[in-house]
Amino acid sequence: MSDFPFVVDIQDTEHFKLQVMEASKQQPVLVDFWADWCQPCKTLIPMLVKLAEEYKGAFILAKVNADEQQELVAAAGVRNLPTVKLFKDGAIVDEFMGAKTESEIRQFLDAHIDNESQNVIEQALELSESGAHEQALEALKQLNQDDPSNTDVYLATARIYLQSGDLDNCEAVLKALPANIQISDEARKIQDELDFARATKDAPDVSEIVAQLETEPENHELRVQLANQYTVSHQYEKALQELLYILRKDMNFQEGKAKEAMLKIFEILGNQEPIVRKYRTKLATLLY
């Protein structure tokens, strides 16, 4: 029997029916199929247990030892370990295989499970977007006291500092993150946005740069500044157009400064965005 109130070790088929199939009609049940010999399982299980406790009963974690419960493994169609399946109302609604980061598991859970902490974070971000930065930060400060293990609070705090223009505090929060969170997609995205914000802090405004470029169209440094300004104002395609112009003229301008900026924009937007696919293709044509 588990030492944790929201974690259960499945003993047999009947136990599975009771603790997973029936229990999932009341609340989601996350089933982790694992084995002692599976190294990724040993990394994954502590994260799942931690999240089960953090979500305070929003879901139940059911652990199935694949070596001991081969009948259940076969019935569930499990072919690789670790495999994690989410049950709701007696049926599988989603699953993943292999090791995941804590941030990825949170995203998986939050797509199906109502998480009060996540609701607070989303509300704080909405407040910040409306300009109520101090109120948003106060909400996250309280959440951090109530749910100190939730690293998403720190990422949201960094983003709100960025939105408010407090770049130093944004950077301080990012640097204080655990190493595994610092390399997460969201942390890297915020860092890239912070880099662009710093680059535009004392730069001329867009109209001034555009006017100067009319007389100095080959001034690539000015064009980088314009791309930075477009990026900060979320005019990403305009930014990419300016950077592509530079790369067509000088691929190695300032040791690849334009290419580096383009790659950062790709990271901010994510690989699934059509604009990213479009300009990755354009960049690849130049490179190869």
Residue 183 has a pLDDT of 87
User: Could you tell me the two tokens for 114?
Assistant: 């109502």
What is the structure's pLDDT at 275?
95
Contact 49, 4 (CB under 8 A): yes
Full-model pTM: 0.67
- The CA–CA distances, whole Å, from 32 to 29, 66, 101, 102 equal 10, 9, 15, 15
User: What's residue 3's pLDDT?
Assistant: 62
Location of structure tokens 């993943």 = 96
CATH fold match for the domains 7-110 and 116-198: no
pLDDT one-digit tens code per residue, 136-195: 999 999 999 987 777 889 999 999 999 999 999 999 999 999 887 888 889 999 999 999
Is the domain defined by 206-287 classed in CATH 2.60.120.200?
A: no
What is the tens place of the pLDDT at every residue in 198-215?
A: 999 888 899 999 999 999
Averaged pLDDT, groups of 10, the chain, 288 residues long: 78 95 94 96 94 88 96 93 96 94 88 82 94 96 85 93 96 91 90 96 91 95 96 96 95 91 95 93 88
Q: What residue ranges do the domains of the chain occupy?
A: 7-110, 116-198, 206-287
Query: From CA 45, how far away is CA 9, in angstroms rounded?
Result: 12
Q: How many helices (H) and strands (E) does the chain have?
A: 15, 5
Q: Which two tokens stand for residue 156?
A: 């949201």
Pairing of β 7-9 and β 29-34: unpaired
Which residues are annotated as catalytic? 38, 41
Which superfamily, per CATH, for 7-110? Glutaredoxin (3.40.30.10)
CATH architecture observed for domain 116-198: Alpha Horseshoe (1.25)
